[in-house]
C-alpha cells in the first residue's frame, strides 16, 4: 500500500546523512555570457530583505506545518 508510512532503515538514514554532508558543486562552471549577465545584473536589495524576512518567519513558525 503506497499510502502506508514507512520506516527507513539505519543504512538508508546513514546514506542520507552522508549525502547531506557531502560537498555540493555546480554541474558546470558558468559560461562567459552567464558570468557577464550576472555581473551586469546585481542582486536587488529588496529581494535580499525579503529572503531574510522569510527565513526569520520560518524559524518562528508554530503549529502543524512546522518541520522539527
| 4 domain residue, yes or no | no
Backbone φ and ψ for 31, nearest 5 degrees, come out as -75, 165
| 19 domain residue, yes or no | no
| 2 domain residue, yes or no | no
pLDDT higher than threshold 90 for residue 6: no
Helices assigned H by DSSP within the chain = 10-21, 32-40, 45-59
Mean pLDDT of the 6-15 span = 93
Q: What is the pLDDT of residue 62?
A: 77
| 25 domain residue, yes or no | no
| Residue reference for cell 524576512 | 53
Q: What is the pLDDT of residue 66?
A: 67
Q: How many domains does the chain have?
A: 1
Q: Dihedral through CA 5, CA 6, CA 7, CA 11, nearest 10?
A: -160
Which one, of 17, 58, 5, lies nearest residue 67 by Cα? Answer: 58
Q: Which domain holds residue 38?
A: 31-61
4 vs 66 pLDDT, higher one: 4
The pLDDT tens digits of the residues spanning 12-67 come to 999 999 999 999 888 999 999 999 999 998 889 999 999 999 999 888 877 776 66
Amino acid at each position: 500500500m503506497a499510502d502506508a508510512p514507512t520506516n527507513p532503515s539505519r543504512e538508508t538514514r546513514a546514506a542520507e546523512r552522508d549525502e547531506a554532508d557531502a560537498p555540493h558543486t555546480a554541474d558546470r562552471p558558468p559560461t562567459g555570457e552567464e558570468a557577464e549577465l550576472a555581473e551586469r545584473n546585481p542582486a536587488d536589495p529588496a529581494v535580499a530583505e525579503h529572503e531574510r524576512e522569510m527565513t526569520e518567519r520560518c524559524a518562528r513558525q508554530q503549529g502543524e506545518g512546522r518541520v522539527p
